[in-house]
Structure formats: structure tokens, C-alpha cells
A = this chain, B = another copy of it.
Amino acid sequence: MNEKDCFGIVGGDKRQIALAESIAADGYRVYVYGFDLAEEIRGVVLADWKDGFDPCETVILPLPVMATKGFLNAPYSSEKIPLNDVFAEKLRDKMVFGGRLRPVYATSPVWNAIEARDYSEREEFAVCNAISTAEGAIQTAMESYEGTLHGSSCLVAGFGRIGKALSWMLRGIGADVTVSARKASDLAWIELYGYRAVRTEEIRGRYDLVFNTIPAPVFSQRVLEWMPSDTILIDLASLPGGIDAAAAEKLGLRMIRALSLPGKVAPKSAGEIIKETVYNMMEEA
């Protein structure tokens, strides 16, 4: 990386603040735009986006770039920041990074001329986010469950990134962990890591806590009927999730939908993850 690199952090929430501070702590110059409502951000220069993003060569937009249609995701800005031709023009000739970038291309034809890349599509970003999500799920479980997770019986449905991170941590604090998967090779890995394995289509039995990570209707009424009434269900899969909420309610089961955990429970780590991913992308460029 060029020692003279200067970064512009434009919009976003606590994650972008952590990102800005962390890049500054690495010794780079950092300008932040859209943060006039934020408390102190250490080591950076506050600047006004209306003046453009010079002298920054690299600009990092938030995740997601656009929360409300047509506007930058910028909760710490006192003014709304419109995503339009004027905004896009300011990014010309910059190296631009953003999270869930795709929708912004519809806001201005200028975007087609901008060298922009999406960090949220990178595999290492997804892996690191899975850690935060897993830890957020554990915090949620601790807050909800009246026993200790240590010694409790937990089911993790799905052995993708979040399932892997979550089962590892649950075993680490002493829970009795069962993990479900469909593929025989995943079931073999599950046993390697010291968990009990169960085929997803054969989920039965009694658990104190059920964590779903599968974005498909796995926990139908038929499956939920097997659960004791004090089972706690935590759905981590993106909407509509994998647990039949209506059936859960009818059966008197407690269900918690836990989404976007990294930004909520660990903004500092989330900022670090964005930074590391962007650094990786810059090195590969």
C-alpha cells in the first residue's frame, strides 16, 4: 500500500466510525464525511461531503451503501445525502469500496465509469462476519435462557459459515452441541470437530436451545411439535428465516429472530473486518 494513501470514510454507522479510527491508527490520513452528529472520532479529520472527497484517493462507503432508496446510509449525518449524479461525480477517479453496492448503479449512469468494488461479497468478509454473528447469537442465548449455556443441550441447524463458527464457540463454553447437515461429508466434519451429528431431515428430540442458520423452512410445525415447551428458538437465517413463527407461537415456543448481529453487538470488530477486507482487495489490485 502506498504510504501516502489517504482514505475517505463516507457515511455509515458505528462500524464506519470504528473503521475510520482503525485506519487512522495504522498511520494513514483519514477524512470522514457525514459524521457531524457523531461523538469524537479519534485521529481523523471531519470534512463536508459537499466539497468532494479530495485529497482522498480511496473512498469507503458503508454497508449497505443505500438503506433508504435514493439516499446514502448515513445515520450520523444531520442532513440526508442523496445518491445522484452529483454524488457519483465526486467519486470519479477514486478507488471506491462499498458494501452491497449493486443497487447504487441505478442511481446514476456515472457509476459505470467508477472503479468500485464490493467488500461484502468477499469470502473472508463473510467468514469474519460469521464469527461476530455467532458471538451475537451466544449473547442473545445467554440473555434469554434461564440456565447456563455450559451444560445445556444445543442444536445448531446448518453447517455453513455461521453454523461452523457457532458450534465451535458453543462447545468451547461447554454446551452439549448437536449440529445438523444434509451432506454426508458435512456430517463427517461435524463429528471430527467433536459435536453430535444429525441429518437435517431427521431433527427431533429435546434441546434447551435451537439455533437455526438455514434460510429454508426447516422448522415446520411438524418438527416444532417435537420440542418441549420451554425450548428457546433463535433464528439467524435471513428473512423469512427457517422457523415457522406462527407455528412456534401456537405451540407456545419462545422464538427470537436475531438479524444483523455483527453491527449491533460488535461494531468495533465489524469495522476491523471491513478494514482487513479492503486492505486485502487493495493488495490484490
Contacts and interface: CB of A to CB of B under 8 A. Distances in A.
B184 A174 contact: no
A10 interface: no
Counting chain B CB atoms within 10 Å of each CB, the highest count among A122, A147, A149 belongs to: A147
A151 B169 CA distance: 12
A194 B174 contact: yes
B171 A124 contact: no
Contacts of A128: 188, 192
A193 B172 contact: no
B146 A267 contact: yes
Interface of A: 14, 18, 122-124, 126-128, 130-132, 134-135, 138-139, 142-143, 145-151, 164-165, 168-169, 171-174, 183-185, 187-189, 191-194, 265-269, 272, 277, 280
9 contacts: A18-B146, A127-B189, A131-B150, A135-B148, A135-B149, A142-B142, A150-B192, A168-B193, A171-B194
